Chain A
Amino acid sequence: MANNKYAFFRGCLIPIRYPHLEYVARLVLPQVGIQLMDLEEFTCCADPIQFRGADQLTWLAIAARNISLAEEAGLDVICLCNGCFNSLAMANDLLKKEPKLRAKVNRILADTGHQFEGDIEIKHFLKAIADDIGIERLGSYVKAPLHGLNIATHTGCHLTSPQGILGFDDPIDPSVLDSLVAALGAEPVDYDLKSLCCGVGFSLSGKTGASSLLLKDKLENMREYGADCIAVGCPFCYQQFDLGQLAASRKYQFDFKLPVLYYLQILGLAMGYSIEEMQYGAHKIKDESFERKLRRG
């Protein structure tokens, strides 16, 4: 079994709004050899969309401080959220490449007692699973293969772009998450709008009309290709496909429901946990035919 220790970067959205996903991460990851070390001094990443836009230097210094905490512990970082991963990985890359900028940020950090050294890596948990365990060996943890379950994967924008820096997957034609669900016995669904953003940015800025219109296209396309559920690796995408789907469904009267599962919930199901143990009860979008498929397996 792989045995890799990481500084556990939970972010904000999961511990505050979706603690059931933190619960699942703490339960499942150690069982596949990924150890999570809590560093209590971690703060918000800060986010790569609005905060980074509003004040790039403060954004960079906050990310550098978070990275320095992991450096002091001698650990690489594992993230549960595409946004946290994007912020920390881009800041890490920028500060490693730009010595003048690093010196400037370290002057800003001087009063905190932390310094950015540039000697660790930032990983998203999907990358940690793909790298540390490997897609082929992942099958050895499967006790209840998810045969017959059709999954539409949504990798999300901030995990893949910019590809040159993040190096996880092709942002225009992503396939890693498909391989990760296929390794559990499930069937990835090859739908057209796979690389289309989840649209949570619209929801967060109050543009619910645009959010619902986007979800209508994306969800109907997933359904058309036979999806029973959606797989994501990001709590913002999760929120959009769960809460956002609720709003879109009211507006457009969908005749279907597509539950969204965080990848670690799907991994847990394949390891033999029940959907209740994987905290399905906390979801807003539930679907009986999806549940029946799992119980039959």
Chain B
Amino acid sequence: MLLSIEFQARDQLLERSKAIERCFRCGTCALVCPVTRYGEGYNPRDTFVYDVLSSGEPATNQNLWSCALCYKCYEVCPQDVNIPKVFESLKEIAFENGWAPANVVALVESVIRTGTSFPITDACRRMRAELNLSPFAPKGIGDLREIAKNTGLEGEIDRLKVRKVGDGEQ
């Protein structure tokens, strides 16, 4: 493996995505990565992808959450590493261990408790009324609670120790 990934979670990550072993540090991903191009402290040699993957414990690296999963790196990678899948896996490890930023935890909680990612504000109600649009109030929130209970997310979200993704995953 040419991309030196020596950290505690390495085996855990390899289980989820064997393709990381194929990276030969050509840097093609850096050419299209908006985080490398505009994120503070990155340049074509010290890229966002290497920053995260060469950390001692990459799932604790808060910069991980800057990845917007735009998939540009996936589209151009000559080695089919599937970097977005690696980053998703790292995010999941981080979430399970309580290393996710507070705004991400709040987002996840908002979705399972209210059915939306954003709060329905008075401004929203007023704008909708002015446009003669009916009030926005998603139903089906009870179902989301059932889902979150069955996946283990509900009840555990406060403790942030969530179940592992089991068999059946790619």
**Chain A residues within CB distance 8 Å of chain B:** 10, 12-13, 15-17, 19-20, 22-23, 26, 40-44, 46-58, 61-62, 65, 69, 94, 98, 100-101, 103-104, 107-109, 111-112, 114, 157-158, 161-163, 171-172, 195-197, 199-202, 205-207, 209-211, 213-214, 279, 282
Contact = CB atoms under 8 A, between A and B. Distances in A.
B128 interface: yes
Contacts of B66: 201-202, 205, 207
B147 A172 contact: no
23 contacts: A10-B136, A12-B117, A15-B136, A16-B121, A19-B128, A19-B131, A19-B136, A20-B131, A26-B133, A43-B111, A43-B141, A43-B144, A44-B117, A50-B91, A53-B65, A53-B92, A53-B104, A58-B112, A107-B150, A111-B146, A162-B75, A196-B34, A201-B66
B50 to A, nearest CB: 18
A251 to B, nearest CB: 13
Contact of B38 (A52, A210, A282): A210
Interface in B69-91: 69-72, 74-76, 87-88, 91
Contact of B136 (A16, A50, A201): A16
Contact of B143 (A54, A114, A158, A209): A114
A50 B95 CA distance: 10
A13 B75 contact: no
Nearest to A197: B34
B68 to A, nearest CB: 3
A20 B121 CA distance: 15
A195 to B, nearest CB: 7
B118 to A, nearest CB: 5
Given A54-B104, A55-B162, A56-B169, A171 B117 contact: no
B39 A112 contact: no
Contacts, number: 203
Given A17-B118, A61-B151, A103-B168, A112 B143 contact: yes
A109 B117 CA distance: 21
Which of B32, B69, B103, B119 gathers the greatest number of chain A CB atoms within 10 Å? B69
A57 to B, nearest CB: 5
B92 A161 contact: no
A103 B166 CA distance: 13
Contacts of B139: 40-41
